[in-house]
Structure 1
Amino acid sequence: MQLSRFGEKFAAKSGISGLMDDLGAALTDDPTLLFMGGGNPGRVEAVQVAFAKRLSAIAADRDARHQMLGVYQAPQGDRDFRDELARFLNREYRWSIGPENIAVANGSQAAFFVLYNLFAGVAPDGGERQIHLPMSPEYVGYRDIGLSDNFFTATKPKIERLAGGQFKYHVDFDGLVLSDSDAALCVSRPSNPTGNVVSDAEIASLDRLAQSKDIPLIIDGAYGQPFPALIEDSATAFWNENTILMLSLSKLGLPGVRSGIVIARPEIAQAFSRANTVVSLACGTLGPQLLRGMLDDGSLLQLCRQEIQPYYAQRRELAIHAIEAARGDLPVWIHKPEGAFFLWLWCEGLPIDSVTLYERLKKRGVIVLPGNDFFIGSGEDWPHSRECLRISYAGDRQTIEAGIALIMSELHNTYAQSP
């Protein structure tokens, strides 16, 4: 079988395909594996019950059932859902958007594939344009998404060491220099993988920089505002006409419905929808149908505040306590957890790289994500990029406690065996 260049690129093993392979193994091949590697949300019973009731109501309504199962949606997605989401965002944040600013996609991963390639890649004049990540590490799913080579550039972060064995990344504005080939800035807020939250001041500076270069600022808000809002209270939701805000229903507990949302000025939302129609024909209706009414009546925000946020807060504290109790004199630092549901460990001076550590942990029955693949566009020659792990604390208490015990045990062994 001879593949095209596209086929060779996208059929090859990648960081994101490896992550999903591990998820499949944990769910089906070997359910005894302690899965602390992926972005699968936790099983919050009250959330599942709420959406099950909504699904039952749709199934019992003849017209709603037909709308969900039997009709192609318009290119930008369900108009009633987009109307409701626009009302919600205007009410909550005093923005001024309408349904024309909103486009629905079949998951945010697919949405990023279309969006990134709208802006970056081979330009009409034959030159190459890139997406710039102002603070690497960034989401592993971005790495292989471009249709051309040299798709990303990135700036390494400043590292601030904090009390209690924690640290924090900051945007290094002194080192952040954009070139004429940079087509957009993109930052996840809160960060996947680190749980870092780029501050309001940093966002304002990135916005000014993007506007000065006449390029968009893309904010990946999959874990942030307005839902599920797994983000520290001091962060303010941000959008303007030069911003493209990406949202997802997955972290609400709905990864199976594959619903992503693009919020942008109308010409960008329309361009995205036209390209997305070529790729997907139409977006799915289940996610938008499930949320219909829950934005207008406030029940979705109530679900986030009363169920989703406390669930992850409790498990975050459990995970941090487990690491701190087992850390001893290991030079292992925890990135200050400000959002999402990950802990990012910096194993300073790690005698092996994080991929080797990942393989050893997998043999011991726990799956994490090695940090190497997250340093997209820069950092491959930076020792720090080989010393980090992403650990999910979305699972049940037993998984968190048992998994972290294995991780810390292996780290003690690894450092002890170093010459």
Structure 2
Amino acid sequence: MSIEFSLAGKKLTARSGILELMDDLGRAMTEHPDMLMLGGGNPAAVPSIQKIWRDRMQDLVNEGPAFDRMLGNYDPPQGNPIFLRAMTKLLRQQFGWEIGPENLAVTNGGQSAFFFLFNLLAGRFENNKHRKILLPLTPEYIGYADQGIDESLFVACKPEISWPDGPESRIFKYRIDFAAVEKRLAEQDIAAIAVSRPTNPTGNVLTDEEIRRLSDLAARHGIPFIIDNAYGTPFPGVIFADASPFWAPHVILTLSLSKLGLPGTRTAIVIGPEQITKAVAAMTAIAGLANGNIGQQLVLPLIESGEILNLGPQHLIPFYSEKSRLAQGWIREFFEGTGVDWALHTSEGAFFHWLWLRNLNCSTKGLYSRLKARNVLVVPGEYFYFGLEDDWAQREQCLRLNFSQPAEVVRKGIRIIADEASKSLR
């Protein structure tokens, strides 16, 4: 029997970057245990963090009724009321944000949150109007690319590229081209501005000034400013640069428990105007009745005590910054003398290095296939440039490398990447 899918069904089931990434990761984990996993965004097994969650789960088991309620009850679609009140109190006390529980909604992970938000705000409207999400800095997170029920949901701006210590350092940084952003806002019907901070895939952290300027532009145009803080501040805090938590009445901020070592709980928090959080709760009820309870219950005491804000500085930053430092050293070591014209985005947060290879005879999709044949899994850069209307050679010249795996895995993987790149020169 041949089943015909709707247009929306065809759009959501077509081959996509995020599907290919997750499929490759899943197959590698189950069918190829020797694969060197430098792709994906899975957090590392941080021993001190793992102990916190094991101890907390044991506490819940020992409490008895709390454990039974966690597994045996549905929470409201907006989230557990006790959890929402505790999170509200923490953010009000620590940062002075004028929010209440009505400004929060829990979702089944950040991916679900952005599916709801993007399709709520952008796409087709009455009178044949079509509104888009503006990405002021590309490359941007692969997981957004195919979330629109309607086609062409995004428009993106090329960044300015700076060399903080000069080109000879091989370290570059993307910065927002505000002239390009303002041009897009004037030319297009923009529904919202959206950024990730730190930016996935590059590890770029937008400065406080860049965040304020984007917020001001959004407010001036009467649209929301969406900030994806899956890795950033106030938690989980996998961030190596100076960055202040930011929220305003027109801001939609998302937080996640995944990078705190709890990706399996699929728990994210949306903070925004009540109209938005109520809509997210309504969409949650339709798509899944309610959200998972386990993540909310695991972290609740840490929210009530404020300890959740210390996990980044005390546990995650020392762990990941050292891994970043080691990986940068191996990139310099193994690419030295290869003839590859390489550069690396400055590492300011998250789990990734963004490697720019400027003189290959193939695209990074081609290099990705060659590396997979040698048991190294990376993510080719082409998937991260969606919404960009201008042609840009760089979209075929970059790789995202996850440095959160054990040191011997990362080191061996980088050595093979350098070797394979050296065989692919123009």
Q: Which residue of 2 aligns with 1:388?
A: 398
- For residues 3 and 117 of structure 1, the distance between their equivalents in structure 2, rounded to whole angstroms, comes to 20
Q: CA deviation at 1:124?
A: 2.2
1:92 Cα offset (Å)? 2.2
How many residues are paired up? 416
Task: Name the residue aligned to 1:216.
Answer: 224
Distance in 2 between residues matched to 1:393 and 1:251, nearest whole Å: 14
Aligned to 2:20: 18
Who is 1:137 aligned against? 139
Which stretch of the first structure deviates more once superposed, 268-277 or 353-362? 268-277
Partner of 1:83: 85
Q: Helix, strand or coil: the match of 1:318?
A: helix
Find the aligned partners of 2:174 and 2:381 in 1 and give their Cα distance.
Answer: 15
Q: Which residue of 1 aligns with 2:340?
A: 330
Question: Residues 255 and 380 of structure 1: is their aligned pair in 2 closer, same or farther, counting only changes over 3 Å?
Answer: farther
Residues 236-315 of structure 1 mapped to structure 2, 5 A cutoff: 236-315=244-323
Q: What is the one-letter code of the residue matched to 1:81?
A: F
- Which has the larger displacement, 105-114 or 326-335? 326-335
Output the CA distance in 2 between the equivalents of 1:234 and 1:373.
28
Q: Which residue of 2 aligns with 1:45?
A: 47
Residue 206 of structure 1: CA displacement? 0.6
Q: Could you say what secondary structure the match of 1:294 adopts?
A: helix
Which residue of 2 is the match for residue 169 of structure 1? 174
Amino acid at match of 1:373: Y
Question: Under a length normalisation based on structure 1, what TM-score does the superposition of the two structures give?
Answer: 0.97
> Does the CA contact (< 8 Å) of 2:155 and 2:389 recur in 1?
no
Shift of 1:203: 0.8
Q: Aligned-residue CA RMSD in angstroms?
A: 1.3
Percent identical residues: 42
Matched-pair contact (CA < 8 Å) for 2:236–2:312 = yes
CA distance in 1, matches of 2:29, 2:316: 22
Contact persistence 1:105–1:261 (CA under 8 A): yes
Structure 1 stretches of 5 or more lacking a match? none
Q: Aligned equivalents of 1:298 and 1:122: distance in 2?
A: 42
SS in 1 for 2:301: coil
CA distance in 2, matches of 1:354, 1:62: 52
Structure 2 residue aligned with 1:152: 154
User: Bigger CA drift: 17-26 or 299-308?
Assistant: 299-308
**Do the aligned residues in 2 keep the contact of 1:331 with 1:348 (CA within 8 Å)?**
yes
Compare 341-350 and 360-369 and name the one that shifted more: 341-350
User: Bigger CA drift: 57-66 or 31-40?
Assistant: 57-66
SS of 1:314 mapped into structure 2: helix
- TM-score normalised according to structure 2 size: 0.95
The alignment partner of 1:292 has SS state of helix
Q: Which residue number in structure 2 is paired with residue 191 of structure 1?
A: 199
TM superposition shift of 1:198: 0.9
1:240-275 Cα shifts (integer Å, max 9, x gaps) = 001000111111111100001100022211111112
CA distance in 2, matches of 1:290, 1:301: 15
What is the DSSP-based 3-state SS (H/G/I as helix, E as strand, rest coil) of the residue aligned with 1:245?
strand
Question: How far has the Cα of 1:233 moved from its partner?
Answer: 4.2
Question: Which letter does structure 2 place at the counterpart of 1:345?
Answer: L
The letter of the residue matching 2:16 is S
Per the TM alignment, residue 180 of structure 1 is displaced from its structure 2 partner at its CA by: 4.9
Q: 1:374 aligns with which of 384, 388, 399?
A: 384
Q: 1:404 aligns with which of 393, 414, 420?
A: 414
Give the aligned residue type for 2:323: R
1:104-148 deviation line (CA, Å, top 9, x unaligned): 000110111011100001112221111110111100000000010
Q: Is contact 2:340-2:359 (8 Å) kept?
A: no
- Where 2:304 maps in the other structure, the secondary structure is coil
1: CA distance, partners of 2:257 / 2:382: 27
Q: Could you say if the C-alpha distance between residues 154 and 232 of structure 1 is closer, same or farther in structure 2, counting changes exceeding 3 Å?
A: same
| 2:213 maps to amino acid | S
SS in 2 for 1:167: strand
CA separation of 1:294/1:182 partners in 2, compared to 1, >3 Å: closer, same or farther? same
Q: Deviations over 1:44-80 (max 9, x none)?
A: 1221111011111112223211221111111210111
For structure 2, the residue ranges without an aligned partner over 5 or more in a row are: none
2:349 maps to which residue? Answer: 339
Runs ≥4 residues deviating over 3 A: none
For the residue of structure 2 that corresponds to 1:125, the secondary structure is: helix
Residue 333 of structure 1 aligns to a residue whose secondary structure is strand
Matched, 1:27 2:57: no
Question: In the aligned structure 1, how far is the partner of 2:357 from the partner of 2:26?
Answer: 27
